[in-house]
Chain A
């Protein structure tokens, strides 16, 4: 893609997204938020930031869930505005971002259905970016092939589903496998799509997606210990577009305990740093947080380049992180559990 003609189609949206990004809370905002005594204080402070009066029409006393919903609504509105103004190939790119949420929603609904929860109760919990027409009919399916034939065949996820069609009943483990297979196919497809776009988009996005793939591989491995998932099956779930592919993944597939995983990470500079500082003891950051921090760093770096689509992805992810941070702080305030209030992940 030629940089010089990028702005014809995407200049407005890129400008918009960079403007949105400037509204992301700064360190000083977090310092103020952390000092809040009640959720109303939090609301008062958020009013002075880019969020404006997004909570103005909510009756006090506030609930954390209300804040969460409103934060998400705001983000979704922004994203949908971007999507509505996008033209090809940005439109497809933005659609690709939503597929990830679709996968999460499907898994959420099936799991809910397994536990005999009514769909109407589950729907509000779904991420609004990942809804599609047929989503509510998902409990028709009792096997994965039914799921595919009845519900998913018309959705964009159909392409990713090829590998996991089987006549097995849907149970907890199966769902997890479906989720991870879908996600693997999704990541690989997104990765190759970004590659096909070429230019800076490919540079930036492939970096971010490769990390995403590797993170999944690590987490799948770590979570699989002590379950009935065999090493062979586990290997099939690793997305093959990361930096770990192929040697690292092969080594991960052989891993039998967390120590082995750490040894695999030793071979990769950026992952070694993440594993080294991580731990579950107080005062240490969890591996998950470390991963989040690294993700934030990659996403912030995406804004250092111009004329590419990575900023749209990065903005969404940064904003999601910010929502998680605010909700974390709000939870800490609401539960009067201030000891861990500083465990948010700053976006620098």
Chain B
């Protein structure tokens, strides 16, 4: 059987690589992706390892690539994903790559610097143009008043003094800084300046960041030199740019002309620069992806090489690694290929070692099983080679889910969604959607697909489709003897309570598949369904748990723990079967041997059927119920049941000490024997043991009897109490299913029925049109999504706790091979 049943057998291997071939060999191994290297220098700091220099060079190359990528994103160039998988380049090619990136980066930087200065110039010129244009407007306003010119005194000249000359400063400032600027001017100059401002409508481009910024042109009039220095200082402080502005009209127009000309020239140069930049980037974008992959591969290889041990002679590198035993041949091939490539004459040596270390757990999964494996792994990675519950989970998980989510309509909605995901799988993977919630759904698409199909099945069994039923085979129930219900025939039925006792309403032959559709509208629907669903949940639960214990037998035989079979598996099985197994059998007996109709005598009439629950409780309490003597019913289902039950109970009770006591003692004896054997061993095979490589310090742990005993006690108590609480826990199957059915019925009656009950056709149809939207939205959001999620979580719990506690240890650690797959699939970006 494949590794889905048990994790792969692993071998710890030692690899001797000649130093010239090491790089290529590791590269080939990375392409195969099935080798997990162990870190042989855990005490050495990251920066003191052998190949740290190469790793650093890779970091540097990555940085340059990221810089280029950023530039491309700025220009909105897309990096083409060709899907090709270039091999890791040889170390000597690294220099070429480095040179290429270096050249590109420098070129980019140069182009950017040029573009920046050009843009800055162009910004300055544009601003100057705006200043000239706007001051022009302003001066024109003044000129229209015949007598004034800008520099003319506004205050009539006092006698004895010459006309006061007003100076002015014009410039451009960021619009949001204007209020602060004005306030400061006012404060510092004590109101002795006159400020005019006009906003520049179109946004200007910031040369450094490339953002669009809005600016304002201002012109400040003042008097005197001292104020001038102050104003200039404030302008500087507020990062306003001041521009020279000639006083006379003619000069200004002339200047504007000149500026326009220069601006045009500048624009041509600028467009050429951007074209050049784009050409460079476009050329680079073609190789971007392969470059990234190459650099990351090199980096991964050197990271791995850093984990290896150096031989004393410096001629070869020693690696220790975990390899799936089945793939040893594959690895040998890869190593051979690597050696050929490097041209080294020394063959790498791969030899397996004996070890006491716990190997990693490796399950080969495909796209179907990986979802289920993830569910199991999130509880705990399986211990090495123990039975993997994921295999069984592929069916039990969707089944238990469906028992709770039994509605064919809701299942159909889920089916459509999951089928869409499964069919359009490739396109959706290629789309690389980033949403976290989406990725959860998409990762579990096969789980959802199975869950939906199982839900449709249980929905058909429950005959529940959006809380309505299909009457395909014709109901077995009739009202009166007529097949048509008329108001008259309904009259003497106060309510539609269905009781198979009355043969005039029940045909006697049940509906062939699932529930009879008539139950959906009957008054005692809940009573009937509860009894059925409750019993079925217990039966499913007990079977599920028994199955779990059976799986533990597989584990015990595989690990050759006879003591566990005798002291755990057998008593556990007896305990569970004699209590809860018997409960299930009683349910079956009750179903089969009680009923109504001629074929059942008075003792087996449905009115005489004993309560299974009460019988079970009495069995544990060892007491007999007294019936009143006139009744013809019997307390027990068959003669001798009391004694039989007594035997079952006793055997269950006996199992408890068997589970608790012998195993710790046995383990102590075994340990002592082992210790004795070890003491003898060195003498007998002293010569041989030195030849074996001293791999790792073996497990010479102290045997603490009290600890082992307490652990065993905990396990026993957990199992005994657990089997009670776990059985009860499976009742959630019934509870959730009931809740789901009721909720969808309520939704139909409270929402959809309003529209359907309208007597006026036109009003009704309009209302129905609107109400359907509400009903559909609520159905999807509450019944499918929320209820689905809740049923999913309950199923998960039933698997993790109730099922896996019977056999699953989950103390392993995952196999994390060196693989280039992630690098190629570009998953590394978020690291």
Using known A-B contacts A56-B63, A140-B233, A149-B187, determine if residue A133 contacts B180 with beta carbons closer than 8 Å.
yes
Which segment, of A13-21, A41-49, A266-274, faces chain B?
A41-49
Query: Taking the complex as formed, is A166 at the interface, i.e. its CB lies under 8 A from any CB of chain B?
Result: no
Task: Please measure, in the bound complex, the distance between the C-alpha atom of A149 and the C-alpha atom of B230, giving whole angstroms.
Answer: 14
**Are the CB atoms of B237 and A137 closer together than 8 Å?**
yes
Which segment, of B44-52, B129-137, B206-214, B613-621, faces chain A?
B44-52
Min CB distance B120 to A, Å, is: 15
Min CB distance B306 to A, Å, is: 11
Q: Which residues of A contact B187 (CB under 8 A)?
A: 149-150, 153
Name B52's closest neighbour in chain A (CB-CB).
A44
Name B177's closest neighbour in chain A (CB-CB).
A133
* Interface set, chain B 16-59, CB cutoff 8 A to A: 45-48, 52, 56, 59
Name A140's closest neighbour in chain B (CB-CB).
B233
**Are the CB atoms of A154 and B63 closer together than 8 Å?**
no
A136 is contacted by which of B47, B48, B60, B239 (Cβ under 8 Å)?
A: B239
Query: Taking the complex as formed, is A139 at the interface, i.e. its CB lies under 8 A from any CB of chain B?
Result: yes
**Are the CB atoms of B56 and A140 closer together than 8 Å?**
no
Using known A-B contacts A32-B45, A36-B47, A45-B46, determine if residue A134 contacts B184 with beta carbons closer than 8 Å.
yes
Task: Please measure, in the bound complex, the distance between the C-alpha atom of A57 and the C-alpha atom of B59, giving whole angstroms.
Answer: 9
A40 is contacted by which of B56, B180, B239 (Cβ under 8 Å)?
A: B56
**Are the CB atoms of B63 and A150 closer together than 8 Å?**
no
B180 is contacted by which of A119, A134, A140 (Cβ under 8 Å)?
A: A134
Q: Which residues of A contact B63 (CB under 8 A)?
A: 56-59
Using known A-B contacts A40-B56, A44-B52, A57-B63, determine if residue A150 contacts B46 with beta carbons closer than 8 Å.
no
Min CB distance B292 to A, Å, is: 14
Task: Please measure, in the bound complex, the distance between the C-alpha atom of A342 and the C-alpha atom of B440, giving whole angstroms.
Answer: 49
Task: Please measure, in the bound complex, the distance between the C-alpha atom of A149 and the C-alpha atom of B183, giving whole angstroms.
Answer: 11
**Are the CB atoms of A136 and B237 closer together than 8 Å?**
yes
Task: Please measure, in the bound complex, the distance between the C-alpha atom of A56 and the C-alpha atom of B48, giving whole angstroms.
Answer: 19
Query: Taking the complex as formed, is A284 at the interface, i.e. its CB lies under 8 A from any CB of chain B?
Result: no
**Are the CB atoms of B60 and A60 closer together than 8 Å?**
yes
Query: Taking the complex as formed, is B113 at the interface, i.e. its CB lies under 8 A from any CB of chain A?
Result: no
Name A137's closest neighbour in chain B (CB-CB).
B237
Query: Taking the complex as formed, is A37 at the interface, i.e. its CB lies under 8 A from any CB of chain B?
Result: yes
Q: Which residues of B contact A146 (CB under 8 A)?
A: 188
Min CB distance A142 to B, Å, is: 10
**Are the CB atoms of B234 and A140 closer together than 8 Å?**
yes
Query: Taking the complex as formed, is A77 at the interface, i.e. its CB lies under 8 A from any CB of chain B?
Result: no
Using known A-B contacts A40-B56, A57-B67, determine if residue A140 contacts B46 with beta carbons closer than 8 Å.
no
Query: Taking the complex as formed, is A35 at the interface, i.e. its CB lies under 8 A from any CB of chain B?
Result: yes
Query: Taking the complex as formed, is A194 at the interface, i.e. its CB lies under 8 A from any CB of chain B?
Result: no
Min CB distance B418 to A, Å, is: 36
* Interface set, chain A 196-222, CB cutoff 8 A to B: none
Q: Which residues of A contact B46 (CB under 8 A)?
A: 44-45, 48
Q: Which residues of B contact A137 (CB under 8 A)?
A: 184, 233-234, 236-238
Task: Please measure, in the bound complex, the distance between the C-alpha atom of A27 and the C-alpha atom of B63, giving whole angstroms.
Answer: 30
Task: Please measure, in the bound complex, the distance between the C-alpha atom of A207 and the C-alpha atom of B718, giving whole angstroms.
Answer: 51
Query: Taking the complex as formed, is A67 at the interface, i.e. its CB lies under 8 A from any CB of chain B?
Result: no
Task: Please measure, in the bound complex, the distance between the C-alpha atom of A97 and the C-alpha atom of B59, giving whole angstroms.
Answer: 38
Q: Which residues of A contact B287 (CB under 8 A)?
A: none
A150 is contacted by which of B60, B67, B177, B188 (Cβ under 8 Å)?
A: B188
* Interface set, chain A 119-155, CB cutoff 8 A to B: 119, 133-134, 136-140, 146, 149-151, 153-154
Task: Please measure, in the bound complex, the distance between the C-alpha atom of A153 and the C-alpha atom of B60, giving whole angstroms.
Answer: 49
Min CB distance A241 to B, Å, is: 32
Q: Which residues of A contact B822 (CB under 8 A)?
A: none
* Interface set, chain A 295-315, CB cutoff 8 A to B: none
Q: Which residues of A contact B184 (CB under 8 A)?
A: 134, 137, 140, 150-151
Min CB distance B495 to A, Å, is: 52
Q: Which residues of B contact A139 (CB under 8 A)?
A: 233, 236-237
Most A CB within 10 A of own CB, among B45, B48, B239: B45
Q: Which residues of A contact B52 (CB under 8 A)?
A: 41, 44
Q: Which residues of B contact A36 (CB under 8 A)?
A: 47
Min CB distance B424 to A, Å, is: 36
Task: Please measure, in the bound complex, the distance between the C-alpha atom of A59 and the C-alpha atom of B59, giving whole angstroms.
Answer: 10
B183 is contacted by which of A44, A48, A136, A154 (Cβ under 8 Å)?
A: A154
Task: Please measure, in the bound complex, the distance between the C-alpha atom of A239 and the C-alpha atom of B234, giving whole angstroms.
Answer: 34
Min CB distance B369 to A, Å, is: 34
Using known A-B contacts A44-B47, A133-B177, determine if residue A59 contacts B60 with beta carbons closer than 8 Å.
yes
Query: Taking the complex as formed, is B276 at the interface, i.e. its CB lies under 8 A from any CB of chain A?
Result: no
A56 is contacted by which of B45, B59, B236, B237 (Cβ under 8 Å)?
A: B59
Min CB distance B643 to A, Å, is: 61
Q: Which residues of B contact A154 (CB under 8 A)?
A: 180, 183
Query: Taking the complex as formed, is B503 at the interface, i.e. its CB lies under 8 A from any CB of chain A?
Result: no
**Are the CB atoms of B236 and A119 closer together than 8 Å?**
yes
Min CB distance A134 to B, Å, is: 6
Name B176's closest neighbour in chain A (CB-CB).
A133
Min CB distance A167 to B, Å, is: 15
Task: Please measure, in the bound complex, the distance between the C-alpha atom of A138 and the C-alpha atom of B183, giving whole angstroms.
Answer: 14
Task: Please measure, in the bound complex, the distance between the C-alpha atom of A45 and the C-alpha atom of B239, giving whole angstroms.
Answer: 41
Query: Taking the complex as formed, is B623 at the interface, i.e. its CB lies under 8 A from any CB of chain A?
Result: no
Query: Taking the complex as formed, is B66 at the interface, i.e. its CB lies under 8 A from any CB of chain A?
Result: yes
Q: Which residues of A contact B59 (CB under 8 A)?
A: 56
B56 is contacted by which of A32, A37, A44, A151 (Cβ under 8 Å)?
A: A44
Min CB distance B216 to A, Å, is: 16
**Are the CB atoms of B45 and A140 closer together than 8 Å?**
no
Min CB distance A130 to B, Å, is: 16
1/0 per residue, CB under 8 A from B, across A1-43: the answer is: 0000000000000000000000000000000100111001100
Task: Please measure, in the bound complex, the distance between the C-alpha atom of A126 and the C-alpha atom of B326, giving whole angstroms.
Answer: 64
Q: Which residues of B contact A37 (CB under 8 A)?
A: 47
1/0 per residue, CB under 8 A from B, across A50-68: the answer is: 0000001111100000000
Task: Please measure, in the bound complex, the distance between the C-alpha atom of A117 and the C-alpha atom of B799, giving whole angstroms.
Answer: 73
Min CB distance B560 to A, Å, is: 43
Q: Which residues of B contact A58 (CB under 8 A)?
A: 63
**Are the CB atoms of A60 and B233 closer together than 8 Å?**
no
**Are the CB atoms of B66 and A140 closer together than 8 Å?**
no
Task: Please measure, in the bound complex, the distance between the C-alpha atom of A36 and the C-alpha atom of B63, giving whole angstroms.
Answer: 22
A41 is contacted by which of B47, B67, B177, B239 (Cβ under 8 Å)?
A: B47
Q: Which residues of B contact A48 (CB under 8 A)?
A: 46
Min CB distance B506 to A, Å, is: 61
Task: Please measure, in the bound complex, the distance between the C-alpha atom of A40 and the C-alpha atom of B56, giving whole angstroms.
Answer: 8
* Interface set, chain A 57-90, CB cutoff 8 A to B: 57-60
**Are the CB atoms of A136 and B56 closer together than 8 Å?**
no
Name B62's closest neighbour in chain A (CB-CB).
A56
Name A31's closest neighbour in chain B (CB-CB).
B45
Name A58's closest neighbour in chain B (CB-CB).
B63
Task: Please measure, in the bound complex, the distance between the C-alpha atom of A36 and the C-alpha atom of B56, giving whole angstroms.
Answer: 15
Q: Which residues of A contact B47 (CB under 8 A)?
A: 36-37, 40-41, 44-45
Q: Which residues of B contact A149 (CB under 8 A)?
A: 187-188
Q: Which residues of A contact B234 (CB under 8 A)?
A: 137, 140
Min CB distance B605 to A, Å, is: 62
Min CB distance B67 to A, Å, is: 7
Q: Which residues of A contact B45 (CB under 8 A)?
A: 32, 35, 45
Using known A-B contacts A56-B59, A134-B180, A134-B237, determine if residue A140 contacts B188 with beta carbons closer than 8 Å.
yes
Name B60's closest neighbour in chain A (CB-CB).
A60
Q: Which residues of A contact B238 (CB under 8 A)?
A: 136-137
Using known A-B contacts A40-B56, A150-B188, determine if residue A140 contacts B230 with beta carbons closer than 8 Å.
yes
Task: Please measure, in the bound complex, the distance between the C-alpha atom of A149 and the C-alpha atom of B234, giving whole angstroms.
Answer: 13
Q: Would you mind naming 23 contact pairs between A and B with Cβ atoms under 8 Å apart?
A: A36-B47, A40-B56, A44-B47, A56-B59, A57-B63, A59-B63, A119-B236, A133-B180, A134-B184, A134-B237, A136-B236, A136-B238, A137-B233, A137-B234, A137-B237, A138-B237, A139-B237, A140-B188, A140-B234, A149-B187, A149-B188, A153-B187, A154-B180
Using CB atoms and an 8 Å cutoff, list the residues of chain B in contact with chain A: 45-48, 52, 56, 59-60, 62-63, 66-67, 177, 180, 183-184, 187-188, 230, 233-234, 236-239
Q: A60-B56, A137-B184, A140-B234 are in contact. List 16 more A-B contacts (CB 8 A).
A: A35-B45, A36-B47, A41-B52, A48-B46, A56-B66, A57-B66, A59-B60, A136-B239, A137-B237, A137-B238, A139-B233, A140-B230, A140-B233, A149-B187, A150-B187, A154-B183
